[in-house]
């Protein structure tokens, strides 16, 4: 009886070992490099919005922006009179250093998108274009 019990236990252990060795390949966990790549990329910086008053009346240019992994896209809706361009300064965050400015002109009574080919986060928008000349 004792021999029969030991033989049954050995047979069960052998079956368990063989069963574990034949695990399918797709059951392996993801590699460490996949997890590291997702952690390094991380979420892009936050989005924002702002507006600037026109010179001639109380109309405004409304802006909203979203920073992606490769660029920053600005959506605008210009309610200023047609035929006039309004120059606007975008203030960018520079990794904790002094902020820098980029000026863009927008035609009156238009709407659309403007794309900055870098990933710095926009901190704000204003009509103070004097700081743009230093860049």
Whole-structure pTM value: 0.62
Phi and psi angles of residue 134, each rounded to the nearest 5 degrees, phi first? -80, -20
How far is Cα 125 from Cα 22, in angstroms, rounded to an integer? 62
Q: Report whether CATH 3.40.50 matches the domain 48-134.
A: no
Which pLDDT tens digit goes with each residue over 38-82? 444 444 457 999 999 987 678 899 999 998 888 899 999 999 888
How far is Cα 87 from Cα 106, in angstroms, rounded to an integer? 6
Which pLDDT tens digit goes with each residue over 105-115? 999 999 999 99
Name the pLDDT band for 15 (thresholds 50, 70, 90): low
């Amino acid at each position: 009886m004792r021999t029969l019990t030991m033989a049954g236990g050995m047979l069960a252990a052998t079956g368990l070992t063989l069963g574990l060795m034949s695990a399918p390949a797709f059951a392996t966990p993801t590699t460490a490099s996949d997890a590291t790549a997702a952690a390094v990329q991380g979420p892009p910086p936050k989005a924002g919005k702002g507006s600037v008053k026109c010179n001639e009346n109380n109309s405004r240019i409304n802006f909203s922006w979203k920073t992606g992994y490769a660029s920053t896209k600005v959506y605008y809706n210009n309610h200023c009179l047609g035929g006039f361009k309004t120059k606007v300064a975008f203030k960018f965050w520079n990794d904790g250093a002094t902020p820098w400015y980029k000026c863009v002109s927008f035609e009156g009574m238009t709407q659309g998108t403007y794309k900055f080919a870098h990933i710095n986060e926009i901190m704000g928008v204003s009509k103070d274009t004097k700081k743009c000349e230093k860049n």
